[in-house]
């Protein structure tokens, strides 16, 4: 009985090791720098001009309007002879908010520009992710990692060339081994 139990245990272990070995053989790992791929997309090149136009067309006029409102309300508030007390009291409540917005305009612009940039980048990232998924499925990759997400990772294939080909994006000339392709921010 003990010999039978040992034999059965040995068979289970060998079978488990065989399955583990075949599971490892089926694992195919790749990686890609998604940010670099997005930086290579033609749509990304247009992003700076769109953001500049957004600031010029939307944010700068808003700032001018804000300053103009402040100046108008301040002049009405200061003209105490012609302004009723109830109106002065209402303006007195609004002026600190306007002053705060004017003083913090650079931060407001930065946040608004960042939100707009994220809005404009979202479809580009979606396009790259869809291409990565398609390449992974087509080439049999079971795992695809974002290159910047890991400090240490198992060996794998860099999929940037395959994804670029799928998106019909021309890659820059070869970079030295270990170098990364700079994205639009030079990073």
Mean pLDDT by 10-residue block, N- to C-terminus, for the chain (187 residues)? Answer: 44 44 69 91 89 87 89 84 83 90 88 93 95 94 86 78 90 61 50
Q: How far apart are CA 114 and CA 47, in angstroms?
A: 12
The pLDDT value recorded for residue 129 is: 95
Q: Quickly count: other Cβ atoms within 10 Å of residue 122's Cβ.
A: 10
**Which residue ranges make up each domain of the chain?**
30-167
Classify 10 as helix, strand or coil: helix
Residues 164 and 37: beta-carbon distance below 8 Å = yes
Q: How far apart are CA 125 and CA 43, in angstroms?
A: 11
Residues 12 and 82: beta-carbon distance below 8 Å = no
The pLDDT value recorded for residue 97 is: 92
pTM exceeds 0.75 for this model = no
- Helix (H) / strand (E) containing 157: strand 157-158
Residue with tokens 């700068």: 60
Q: How far apart are CA 153 and CA 21, in angstroms?
A: 20
The pLDDT value recorded for residue 25 is: 56
Classify 172 as helix, strand or coil: coil
Which tokens sit at 26?
Answer: 């089926």
The pLDDT value recorded for residue 76 is: 84
């Amino acid at each position: 009985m003990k010999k039978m139990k040992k034999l059965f245990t040995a068979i289970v272990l060998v079978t488990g090791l065989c399955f583990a070995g075949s599971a490892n053989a089926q694992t195919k790992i790749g990686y890609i720098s998604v940010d670099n791929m997005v930086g290579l997309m033609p749509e990304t090149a247009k992003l700076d001009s769109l953001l500049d136009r957004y600031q010029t067309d939307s944010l700068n006029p808003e700032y001018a309007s804000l300053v103009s409102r402040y100046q108008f309300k301040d002049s009405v508030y200061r003209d105490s002879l012609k302004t009723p007390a109830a109106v002065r009291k209402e303006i007195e409540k609004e002026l600190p908010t306007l002053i705060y917005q004017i003083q913090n305009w650079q931060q407001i612009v930065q946040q608004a520009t960042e939100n707009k940039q994220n809005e404009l980048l979202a479809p580009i990232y979606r396009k790259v992710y869809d291409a990565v998924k398609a390449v992974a499925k087509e080439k049999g990759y079971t795992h695809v990692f974002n290159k910047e997400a890991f400090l240490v990772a198992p060996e794998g294939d860099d999929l940037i060339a395959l994804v670029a080909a799928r998106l019909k994006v021309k890659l820059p000339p070869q970079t030295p081994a270990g170098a990364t392709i700079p994205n639009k921010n030079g990073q």
